[in-house]
Amino acid sequence: MNASSSYWSFLADHRAEIWNATADHMALVLVAMLIAIVIAVPLGMSIVQRPALRAVSIGIANIFQTIPSLALFGLLKTPMWGSAELIPRFWKPQKRWA
């Protein structure tokens, strides 16, 4: 039995469970989105009208948008140099032997 037939047989055998889990997931997402919209839209409309709050909220949003890119830099340096511990070795001055 190859992996493809195993995959399709699993889907066929557990079809009802998959559909129920999908429906539950969609209901949770819908409720969360409705709560977020009910809170965020009036809050955003009130912040737009106040310049001081607008500046603070844009600053906070920029910080939250920066955090994932900083994490990606941490992940990218590992494949390039093999280990994050090797990076400081490149920046230290090398001793010259006389």
Task: Give the pLDDT mean for 39-45.
Answer: 95
Q: What is the pLDDT of residue 18?
A: 94
Q: What is the pLDDT of residue 35?
A: 97
In this structure, what token pair is assigned to residue 3?
A: 């992996």
Print the SS3 string covering the chain. CCHHHHHHHHHHHCHHHHHHHHHHHHHHHHHHHHHHHHHHHHHHHHHHCCHHHHHHHHHHHHHHHHHHHHHHHHHHHHHHHCCHHHHHHHHCCCCCCC
pLDDT tier at 68 (50, 70, 90 boundaries)?
confident
Of residues 72 and 95, more confidence is placed in: 72
Domain ranges (residues) in the chain = 1-49, 51-93
pTM greater than the 0.85 cutoff = no
Q: Which residue has the tokens 């995959």?
A: 7
Cα 71 to Cα 67: distance, rounded to the nearest angstrom? 6
